[in-house]
Amino acid sequence: MRNVKVVVEYDGTDYFGFQYQPKVPTVQGELERVLSRIVKERVTVYGSGRTDAGVHATGQVINFRTCGSIPVEKICLAMNSLLPASIAALQAEEVDDDFHSRYSAKSRLYRYDILNRDLRSALIGRYSWHVSRELNVDAMREAATCLEGVRDFESFCTSREDEMTVRNITRIGVDRQGEHVIIEIGANAFLRSMVRVIVGTLAEVGTGKRHWSEVGKILEARDRKVAGKTAPPQGLCLMHVEY
């Protein structure tokens, strides 16, 4: 049986997240439908991360196992001929049998886009969070430094899937690019909605609702109620997975 790894991108606006759910459109559901048709057998797709409803990806990694004989160099072409326009396969390769897109991953990089201007946009509203109040990027950077390294992020997750809430943020950057404030966060793994809660908290620092020094106290509290609001999903994108 072959183990195939595929890098995919998608506009998550019209999906109820990556993970399969019955009776609603999901990215995993579309990928399994198409791949099962291509290899002529039932396929289970494993993703590197279960992005929430409305979250996008340019570097989501999946793998699936098949006895099908389609050449690996033709898999992306075949997938893209059947997938909806909002999902595209970018690269495919055969990998060792022990490769798993989620459990083999060493780190993941997410990017969040805040449109920081008075008026909303009709064109990029699907891919950014509109914040009309001017954001103090310097204060947001100071707050972000409190989150780097190995920390307990229980205050920054919306639900706990296990008892372990310690994660290692290897990089976090806050930069202004014209009317956009871009937040990039890389870590060994993420908790449920962790990036969006961090972004929501940093935005409150940027608007002056919180002082940047409060972030350390939020970490210590290990209580979701003391952190900022969860930023909306459309500004978030899974950029890259490291193996």
> Residue 100: inside a domain, yes or no?
no
pLDDT digits over 12-58, tens only?
A: 999 999 999 999 999 999 999 999 999 999 999 999 999 999 999 99
Is 102 part of any domain? Answer: no
> Which position among 52, 138, 162, 223 bears the catalytic label?
52
Rounded Cα distance between 155 and 192, Å, is 11
Residue of higher predicted confidence among 155 and 163: 155
Range of the domain at 28: 2-94
- Helix-then-strand count for the chain, H and E: 5, 10
* DSSP codes joined into one string, 163-193: S--EEEEEEEEEEEETTEEEEEEEES---TT
Does the annotation mark 52 as catalytic?
yes
The closest alpha carbon to 232, from 114, 134, 132, belongs to: 114
Rounded to 5 degrees, φ, ψ at 211 are -85, 145
Tens digits of residue pLDDT in 106-162: 999 999 999 999 999 999 999 999 999 999 999 999 999 999 999 999 999 987 766
Judgement on whether residues 114 and 78 belong to the same structural domain of the protein: no
- Each residue of 55-81: pLDDT tens digit? 999 999 999 999 999 999 999 999 999
Indicate the DSSP class of residue 207: T
Q: Does 232 lie in the same domain as 162?
A: yes
Residue 101 lies in a domain: no
Domain end among 59, 94, 129: 94
Q: Which of 34, 49, 21 is nearest to 88 (CA)?
A: 34
226 shares its domain with 147: yes
Domain boundary among 94, 123, 152: 94
Residue 193 has pLDDT above 90, yes or no: yes
User: What is the count of structural domains for the chain?
Assistant: 2
Reported pTM: 0.95
Quote the pLDDT of residue 161.
64
The CATH number of the domain where 74 resides is what? Answer: 3.30.70.580
Rounded Cα–Cα distance for residues 50 and 20 (Å):
9
Which residue, among 36, 37, 50, 35, has the nearest Cα to 92 in the 3D structure? 35
Tell me: do 117 and 227 sit in the same domain: yes
Indicate if 113 and 178 belong to the same structural domain.
Answer: yes
